[in-house]
Amino acid sequence: MQENKGTLYIVSTPIGNLKDITFRAIDTLKLVTFIAAEDTRHTKKLLNHYNIDTKMISYFEHNRVRRIPKIIGLLESGTDIALVTDAGTPGISDPAYKLIRSAIRNDIRVIPIPGPSAVLAALVASGLPTDRFLFVGFLPPKKGRRKKLSDLASHEATLIFYENPKRVVKTLSDIAAFLGDRPAVVCRDLTKLHEEIIRGTVSEVLSYFSQESPRGECVIMIGKDDPNVYFG
Host domain of residue 169: 118-222
Helix H or strand E segment including 222: strand 218-222
User: For position 213, what pLDDT does the model report?
Assistant: 83
Same domain for 85 and 35: yes
Q: Is residue 232 part of a domain?
A: no
Same domain for 213 and 137: yes
Same domain for 102 and 40: yes
Same domain for 95 and 58: yes
User: For position 160, what pLDDT does the model report?
Assistant: 98
For the chain, counts of helices (H) and of strands (E): 8, 10
Same domain for 194 and 128: yes
User: For position 1, what pLDDT does the model report?
Assistant: 55
Could you give the 3-state DSSP secondary structure of residue 154?
A: coil
User: CA of 43: how far to CAs of 16, 52, 56, 163, in Å?
Assistant: 12, 11, 9, 22
The domain that holds 198 is classified in CATH as 3.30.950.10
Secondary structure, 3-state, 50-71: CCCCCEEEECCCCCHHHHHHHH
Which of 98, 113, 128 is the last residue before a domain boundary?
Answer: 113
Which of 70, 91, 113 is the last residue before a domain boundary?
Answer: 113
Same domain for 214 and 165: yes
Same domain for 168 and 93: no
In 3D space, the residue among 9, 13, 3 whose CA is nearest the CA of residue 118 turns out to be: 13
Could you give the 3-state DSSP secondary structure of residue 81?
A: strand
Same domain for 187 and 167: yes
Q: Is residue 2 part of a domain?
A: no
In 3D space, the residue among 229, 8, 217 whose CA is nearest the CA of residue 100 turns out to be: 8
Number of domains into which the chain is organized: 2
On whether the CB atoms of residues 204 and 212 are closer than 8 A, the answer is no
Q: Is residue 227 part of a domain?
A: no
Give the other-Cβ count within 10 Å of 65's Cβ. 10
pTM for this entry: 0.94
Q: Is residue 1 part of a domain?
A: no
Q: Going by C-beta distance under 8 Å and a sequence separation of 6 or more, which residues neighbour residue 145? A: 139, 174
Label residue 158 exposed, middle or buried (CB < 10 Å: 0-12, 13-18, 19+).
buried
Same domain for 48 and 24: yes
Q: Is residue 43 part of a domain?
A: yes
Straight-line distance from the first to the last Cα atom of the chain, in angstroms, rounded to the nearest whole number: 58
Residues of the chain with pLDDT below 70 are 1
Q: Is residue 200 part of a domain?
A: yes
